[in-house]
Structure 1
Amino acid sequence: MGQRFSNTPNDEDNGNLLSSFTTYFRNYKPETKIISEENTLSIELCLKKGDLQGANSVISDALKVIDNATINIAVTGESGSGKSSLINALREVKPEEESAAEVGVTETTREIKPYEHPKVKNLILWDLPGIGTPDFQPKNYLQKVEFKKYDFFIIVSSTRFTQHEIDLAKAIKVMKKNYYFVRAKVDSDLRNEKRSHPHTFDRENILNKIRNYCLDNIRKWNIDEPQVFLISNHNLSDYDFPVLMDTLIKDLPAEKRHNFLLSLPNITEAAIQKKYSSTKQFIWLNAMKDGLLATVPVVGILHDLDMEKLKKRLNFYQDLFGVDDESLTFMAKDAQVPVEQLKEKLKSPHLLEFKKEETLGELLLKCLEKFASANGGLLATGLYFRKTYYLELHFLDTVAEDAKVLLREAYSKKIAQTQFAHSYQQSQDQQVYTRES
């Protein structure tokens, strides 16, 4: 920790900075990076030439683009297909909430309705009337829904895809935009099949039949190599929903990827990790931008203003990862346990609570030591990363781990409920068998 910082970076500093940047961002797969390859190369070139002002400018512009990138997702399908439920699921909004998309078995979408994501700015899901409805005929459908503003289309069905929807997919492809076929309500199909054929029920076989039925139906209309995602809007971690999310992430431009990744529901540990990695990249770039032209030591005095900023950042991460007070209260109510019982399992609510002998500065030093041991030095450069960066990373690490703890808690409860339901059903079946015998 005795490293000296010079006001004027030398060639060795520049070389170390280039090495640190390259090593960090080359560790990410292209489909998970939040800056484009073009920007990555521009930053590397500036650092190689010692042009810190240029590197700072490229990073600043890239962060502005990322932060302000608007994502418009169009969701369409026939009435009762489950598209409104999908929109609510993607926004993590319950059907009874005021901001929810209206759900019903009749045609509830008669006009184009935008739904903003409650936690991620600039992410909007558009509930579109199904193609072929009275006011949205095939011949002028794309024009009426303002086709150009959407990043991609999700075409939802709960049975089979109609000719109208197939024609829509073809038109979208001609316009060089992406579309995705989603077969919803597969959980209902499985329940019905199990009820009808309890002794011969085969889950994977039924899912394959549903998938093949959809694929055969689509191929009939001359669409090559279609992909259909089987989902349940009530059990997002099951079936193909995680695969759908991974496909959308990969297909989005790098600058739009960050906001979409932040919107991922915490349905799997992999989803939480993707959200974590994206946020970490953003923090890293922001800190590097601030640090490139700074000339003060990394360990400074943390003022009250810094503490207020840190509290806001911690609250932001807790809200983003669903470990804020409101989310914990909802989860506790759902699990029928005291909210304090959940909080006991988490570390993030106590991050800014210190014992008398501890200070925020000492926590900063611990974070610096942790970062140095994991990353081979303080960014392997004499330049300054803003002092709150290491604490932000510590907050992010802790909050993401808390999100995984809550996910495991919810999963264990779900397993227990499933086992109870299975045991109860076996008991009922046995009673019926005994009476009949």
Structure 2
Amino acid sequence: MGQMFSKTPNEQDQGLASSFVSYFKNFKMETKILSPEAIRSIKDHLLNGDMQRANAVITAVLKDIDNSPLNIAVTGGSGAGKSSFINALRGIGHEEEGAAPTGAQETTMERKKYEYANAPNVTLWDLPGIGTPNFQPKDYLEKVKFKEYDFFLIVSATRFGINDIELAKAIKFMKKDFYFVRSKVDSDLMNEQRSKPKSFEREKVLQGIRNYCVETFEQNGVEVPEIFLISSHDLADYDFPILTDTLLRNLPAQKRQVFLNSLPNITETTIEMKRETERQHIWLEAFKAGALATFPVVGIVRDDERNLEDRLNRYRTCFGVDDKSLQSFADNLKVPVETLMTIIQSPHLLKTTKEEQLGEKLLKYLEIFCSINGGLLASGLYFRKYHCLLLHFLDIVSNDAKVLLKETYSKDHQNPTASTTAGPLVTTARVS
């Protein structure tokens, strides 16, 4: 009945709805944490002047984002490099505590889960290869509990075998997503360059690997899927960034942020994508809290101080610039951790002297934010001090992550062999 008497939107309702839609329209599909349906629902409620229902939708969205689990299955034959790939995804070295075991012999005899300290909702599952004695194709999916996974990554170090292809067919039949990962392409390139130093052409070799995989599918009468060429020693190179973009586009909106937060900082683009999802999260929280208003630059309450500290620590962990990650960076770069502390800002944001109170320091940050942004976040909308400070902290932390990434690449440039001798942490930020 209420729908029959919905009122005509007034100018204020139209402006609020327009600003809401405009803000979220500016984000790429890969980083949007609101589904088109959620955006339409919130917009309609705003046009009807129904803030309560708009906030109810936002509350549900934020709850989904915070609580939605993401389970990723990694499977492939013996020697495919599954464990190395899992360790690289988690940003840890093969000899570190909690790393997936690697070796020449088959190490995965039953499914095993690997979790992230900074992204507790994300779990990587290392599955036994299909076709092993205990996991024959006819009952493989049932034995590995295929219903639990959001998508499958099928890994091979050579051409994809008949078991991999049959697995893909079965997964597709069950209406699950899967992606083919051709691993160890760095080794293929190195071997090719050693055997044919005069005629070696990197792109030609990579295209040859891709063509070889395509032929396998064509010979088995299977529609050729997208194939991603990967090196677990350097995720920033080859097709891994393309793979992550593909996964993000195909994931439900509410799972994009948690997946991004689990990724190591392999490129500035990855860091920026994390920042974009967090900005949307802050905006939704502010909107839900009724914080869209002109704010006076006045004192910060004690609860705000505690909440800001908690959120800052969360950002530092998410972006790999927390104390544990900094120590790991320092160890791998062979520099004192104090050296890294001098080139980044986030560890010092909430530290005060005897002469300076935390509230005073936060007000200075607020003034800096306002001088850059004018307090403006979306057309005609302003946030109160707490959410502006969150945005300021987020910008500082994400910039620190970029600074450390550049420092890592600079070190690698001085020592070209580093990425093959020290494990994935040399080229990725530690995030677990």
TM-score normalised per structure 1 = 0.88
Residue 170 of structure 1 is matched in structure 2 by 169
**3-state DSSP class of the match of 1:106?**
coil
Other structure's SS at 2:374 match: helix
Which 5+ residue runs of structure 2 have no aligned equivalent?
1-8, 420-432
Q: What does 1:110-125 correspond to in 2, within 5 Å? A: 110-125=109-124
- Aligned position for 2:347: 349
Residue 118 of structure 1 and its aligned partner are, at CA, apart by 2.2
1:365 CA drift (Å): 3.6
Contact 2:217-2:224 at 8 Å conserved across structures = no
Alignment correspondent of 1:14: 13
* 1:252-303 C-alpha deviation (Å, 9 max, x unpaired): 11111111111121111111111111111111111111116x9995655312
Map of 2:99 onto structure 1: 100
Report if the CA contact (8 A) 2:295-2:384 is conserved: no
> C-alpha distance in 2, partners of 1:236/1:315?
26
More displaced stretch, 181-190 vs 96-105? 96-105
- Give the CA deviation at 1:212: 0.9
Q: Within 2, Cα distance between the matches of 1:295 and 1:23?
A: 17
**Relative to structure 1, is the Cα distance of residues 232 and 309 closer, same or farther in structure 2, using a 3 angstrom cutoff?**
same
Out of 360, 363, 371, the residue aligned to residue 373 of structure 2 is 371
- Is the CA contact (8 Å cut-off) linking 1:119 and 1:263 kept in structure 2? yes
Q: Is the 8 A contact 1:91 1:118 kept in 2?
A: no
Q: Which residue is 1:184 aligned to?
A: 183
CA distance in 1, matches of 2:389, 2:56: 25
- Once structures 1 and 2 are overlaid, which stretch shifts more, 18-27 or 197-206? 197-206
Secondary structure of the structure 1 residue equivalent to 2:154: strand
Larger Rg: 1
What corresponds to 2:245 in structure 1? 246
Aligned partner of 2:408 in structure 1 is: 410
Unaligned runs of 5+ residues in structure 1 are 1-9, 422-437
Rounded to whole Å, the distance in 2 between the matches of 1:375 and 1:274 is 18
1:123-138 alignment, distance < 5 Å: 123-138=122-137
Distance apart, 1:107 and its partner CA? 1.1
What is the DSSP-based 3-state SS (H/G/I as helix, E as strand, rest coil) of the residue aligned with 1:218?
helix
The counterpart of 1:361, out of the listed 360, 363, 373, is 363
Q: Which residue of 2 aligns with 1:285?
A: 284
Counterpart Cα distance in 2 of 1:403 and 1:201: 36
CA distance in 1, matches of 2:177, 2:128: 19
Q: Which segment drifts farther, 209-218 or 357-366?
A: 357-366
d(CA) in 1 for partners of 2:416 and 2:295? 56
In structure 2, the CA distance between the partners of 1:15 and 1:353, relative to structure 1 (3 Å rule), is: farther
Partners in 2 of 1:349 and 1:16 — Cα distance? 39
Pick the aligned partner of 1:309 from 287, 307, 315. 307
Partner of 1:149: 148
CA pair 420-14 structure 1, distance change in 2 beyond 3 A: closer
Counterpart residue number, 1:3 = none
1:227-306 equivalent positions in 2, closer than 5 A:
227-291=226-290, 299=297, 301-306=299-304
Contact 1:109 1:128 in 2 (8 A): yes
Q: Equivalent residue of 1:72, what SS?
A: strand
Distance 2:23 2:371 in 1: 18
Secondary structure at the residue paired with 1:291?
A: coil
Structure 2: distance between partners of 1:366 and 1:14:
31
Secondary structure of the residue aligned to 1:237 is: coil
Q: 1:309 to 1:331 in 2, by over 3 A?
A: same
Question: Alpha-carbon deviations, 1:106-138, whole Å to 9, x = none?
Answer: 111111111112211211111110001111111
* DSSP 3-state at the match of 1:408: helix
| More displaced stretch, 88-97 vs 72-81 | 88-97
Shift of 1:326: 1.5
Deviations 1:332-381 (A, max 9, x none): 221122222222111222222457475322322432443336546xx624
Deviations 1:30-61 (A, max 9, x none): 34211111110000011111101011100001
Match of 1:209 in 2: 208
Match of 1:86 in 2: 85
Q: Aligned-pair distance for 1:200?
A: 2.3
Q: Which residue of 1 aligns with 2:385?
A: 387
Instruction: Report the count of equivalent residues.
Output: 407
Instruction: Give the SS at the match of 1:59.
Output: helix
CA contact (8 A) 1:371 1:390 kept: no
Shift of 1:155: 0.4
RMSD across aligned positions (CA): 2.2
> In 2, distance between residues paired with 1:52 and 1:305?
25
Letter in 2 for 1:143: E
Distance of aligned partners of 1:394 and 1:179 in 2 relative to their CA distance in 1, 3 Å threshold? same
User: In the alignment, which residue of structure 2 is the partner of 1:24?
Assistant: 23
For 2:268 and 2:58, the matched residues in 1 are separated by: 30
| Structure 1 pair 291–365 and aligned structure 2 pair: CA distance change class (3 A) | farther
SS in 1 for 2:236: coil
Write the letter of the residue equivalent to 2:50.
Answer: D
Q: Structure 2 length normalisation: TM-score?
A: 0.89
Q: Percent identity?
A: 52
